Amino acid sequence: MTPVLEVKNLKTYFRTPFGLGKAVDGISFSIGKGETFALVGESGCGKSVTALSIMQLVPGPHGFIAEGECFLNGKEITGLSESEKRKIRGNNISMIFQEPMTSLNPVFTIGEQIVEAVKLHHKKSSREARDIAVGMLGKVRLKSPETLFKEYPHRLSGGMRQRVMIAMALACKPDLLIADEPTTSLDVTIQREILNLIKELQTEMFASVLLISHNLAVVFENANRVGVMYGGKIVEMSGTKDIFRNPMHPYTIKLLRAAPGVEKRTKPLDTIPGAVPASVDFPAGCRFSGRCHREMEGCAAMEPPLYGRENSHLVTHLVTHLAAHLVACHLYDPGFMSKPYSRPLGKIPEAAPLPALPHKDRETLLTVKGLKYYYPVKKGILKKTTGYLRAVDGIDLTVRKGSTLALVGESGCGKTTAGKAILKLIEPTEGNVIFKGCDITRLSGRGLLPYRSLMQIIFQDPYSSLDPRMMAGDIIEEGLKSLKPGLGKKSRKERVSRVLDMVGLTPDMRNRYPHEFSGGQRQRIGIARVLAVEPEFIVCDEATSSLDVSVQAQILNLLKSIQQDFGLSFLFITHDLSIVEYMADEVAVMYDGKIVESGTVEEIFTNPKEEYTKRLLLAVPRIEVA
């Protein structure tokens, strides 16, 4: 049977001032009818460029398809004219993007945008197109589709906008749906609903799906087959269960080990040293060399082709070879392994186990009693307060010394507002925050200053929280100047060097600007800035949610090790429950401004009492390979 999509030796390159960037460099795969094929890998591995290449949306003139072909239902689509490409997009192939706001036009209503797509690709009257649009909005379970039809995108929540995107993508009944990180920015419960919805609609329309995600549990639950991308190439490809049960490529093994989970609580997460090499600067041989814990002497010089698993012979007919487990690593080539250059380098040691977690019976550091924060709702030209929005509505929390309390719940439940109110970054409406025996809600100005350095926050987006015009060293020193005014210049410089070292950055990096660092390194600068003022309590507000799983593992390991070295306490605000299982000692579940349930991680995860907690836990995607 002809696959719906067949990609053969696709190469998509970009002309850059530094040379030719080989973002996608000779990948081949196919997707059968009704099948879901997932591409996984760190940012910068070429997943999204692959999707754009299939959509014929590679941004020119710098980007171009240098070689290879894509076939849709047996017909070649690479090299079509602009008008032919437009016919295929939306009609035969649709795409759901990570951030729906970037692909919904803010000046047109939802309905107008879906109607336009339907009319463009199917010869339908305005009336018929309208009926299809309203029907699709209902199908993606948006309430009152007739009313929503007339709404503008900015008036909808993130989850609703994502549903609109799905409705738009499926309105023309495409053969292939490309979903690029479709749920990354969503809460776990909305994520579950959206993925179930895509599955249902896929079954109903028998569409094929190319799923791109860095969430391995989402891939495990939704894909039939998986391709692991690294450095613009597919380095491993097989059935989903096969890859998760028996990963072969060292990169896949590391990626799977880097994902947090309860079974890894007493060990550091496995990390992948270094970063994905720039696409203009790939090593001549295996692109994973330099980061690989199994690297051999000849790996950096010789590029491994894809080998089949059963007989370890070179697979040359891999394009439609749906059943094989393919891997690009010299470890599976008997010819390579019999040569002297297969001697292991052994230069990257495996992570050492963490010392045992401290006993949970620790003294109280922070107590929150009846904390409230109400936003005034203002209306009219005079902005008169007409009511209050109860963002945080009387919460009680206790954080023990040297331990982590996780605050979980869906977006909009008040977690971030609670974190800010606890730190007095916003003035609480009511309640007390007792830190080391002192009620800080009664303090202000100079009285609060000593507590400002003891209670710190790490933000979600390291890029927007670092001043792009300041060098890393100055960013860290700036906090010291204001919060530790007694420190002289020499002591400040010494402390900056010390914290840079603590977070795994080198002293020369103090003279670099934020844009010269990777996402993980920027988050390390954010952590270094916080550590420099010697806090005892840190609010981590979605501190790792914008990071790849491999970088996330590095940051979580770092936070755990500094917690153990310095006895720090964390309030970990997150919607990722696998991180909670790994990091936290205790959990408080927040809903609609209130704490609905709290307890130890074991109590909440094994025996949740409240319906809301149960729903939240059921929505978590899991990798269950047994």
In the complex, which residues of this chain contact ligand SF4 (CB under 6 A)? 250, 286, 288-289, 292, 294-296, 299, 304, 329-331
Q: For residues 168 and 306, which CB has a smaller minimum distance to ligand SF4 in the complex?
A: 306
Give the number of other Cβ atoms within 10 Å of residue 247's Cβ.
Answer: 22
Asked whether the beta carbons of 390 and 372 are under 8 A apart, the reply is yes
Q: For residues 175 and 295, which CB has a smaller minimum distance to ligand SF4 in the complex?
A: 295
In whole angstroms, how far apart are CA 20 and each of 12, 41, 45, 247, 624? Answer: 10, 22, 15, 32, 41
- CB of 295: closest distance to ligand SF4 in angstroms? 4
From the list 596, 621, 601, the residue with the least C-alpha distance to 415 is 596
- CB of 549: closest distance to ligand SF4 in angstroms? 18
- CB of 328: closest distance to ligand SF4 in angstroms? 7
Q: For residues 56 and 289, which CB has a smaller minimum distance to ligand SF4 in the complex?
A: 289
- CB of 299: closest distance to ligand SF4 in angstroms? 3
Measured at the CA of 31, the angle between CA 28 and CA 32, to 5 degrees, comes to 140
From the list 97, 49, 39, 458, the residue with the least C-alpha distance to 255 is 39
Q: Report d(CA 25, CA 50) in Å as an integer.
A: 10
Tell me how long the chain is: 626
* Residue 458, helix vs strand vs coil: strand
Q: For residues 289 and 552, which CB has a smaller minimum distance to ligand SF4 in the complex?
A: 289
- CB of 243: closest distance to ligand SF4 in angstroms? 15
Question: What is the residue-wise DSSP string for 59-70?
Answer: -TTTEEEEEEEE
Asked whether the beta carbons of 294 and 347 are under 8 A apart, the reply is no
Q: For residues 189 and 289, which CB has a smaller minimum distance to ligand SF4 in the complex?
A: 289
- CB of 284: closest distance to ligand SF4 in angstroms? 12
* Contacts for 196 with CB less than 8 Å, ≥ 6 apart: none
* Token representation of residue 57: 């949306």
- CB of 8: closest distance to ligand SF4 in angstroms? 24
- CB of 240: closest distance to ligand SF4 in angstroms? 21
H-helix or E-strand spanning residue 430: strand 430-435
Q: For residues 318 and 405, which CB has a smaller minimum distance to ligand SF4 in the complex?
A: 318
- CB of 287: closest distance to ligand SF4 in angstroms? 8
Q: For residues 121 and 254, which CB has a smaller minimum distance to ligand SF4 in the complex?
A: 254
Question: What is the residue-wise DSSP string for 277-330?
Answer: PPTTS--SS-TTTTT-TT-BTTTTTS----EETTT-PBPS-GGG--S--EE--G
Q: For residues 87 and 339, which CB has a smaller minimum distance to ligand SF4 in the complex?
A: 339
Sign of CA dihedral 141, 146, 147, 150: positive
Q: Hey, which residues does 412 pair with through a beta bridge? A: none
- CB of 72: closest distance to ligand SF4 in angstroms? 32
Q: For residues 250 and 409, which CB has a smaller minimum distance to ligand SF4 in the complex?
A: 250
Asked whether the beta carbons of 170 and 136 are under 8 A apart, the reply is yes
